[in-house]
Amino acid sequence: MTIGDLRHRITLQKLTTIINENGFESDVWQDYKTVWAAVSNLTGREYYQAAAIQAEKTVKFLIRNIEDLDTSMRILFKDKQFNITTIDNMKYENEHLEIKALEVDSSG
């Protein structure tokens, strides 16, 4: 992978609980980090495996390593939301993470 492959900006968000002006707790998505990423669709065997479980809208994001990233977070990319399904530490080298995320349906 070359540095030019990381050419898309994505925003990682965390679900946090805040207290609103009326004193009630409310869950909101807050921006956590904005990073550079390589973005690609699933191809070949990965695509057919995803189709078997109705997860065709899965997208792969490749980013530099972030220690505290987990599957409770989500990704914003090109005005779309993606729920993180898996995080793979590439070759256990702690340099890059491959994230597979499922696009959230805009109808709710």
pTM of the model: 0.80
Q: Distance between CA atoms of 13 and 76, rounded to whole angstroms? A: 8
- For the segment 24-75, what is each residue's pLDDT rounded down to a tens digit? 999 999 999 999 999 998 665 555 555 555 556 889 999 999 999 999 999 9
CATH at 36: 2.40.10.270
Has residue 22 been placed in a domain? yes
What type of residue sits at position 73?
M
What average pLDDT does range 82-100 have in this prediction? 93
55 within domain boundaries: yes
Task: Name the residue range of residue 26's domain.
Answer: 3-103
- Radius of gyration, CA atoms only, the chain: 15
Number of folded domains that form the chain: 1
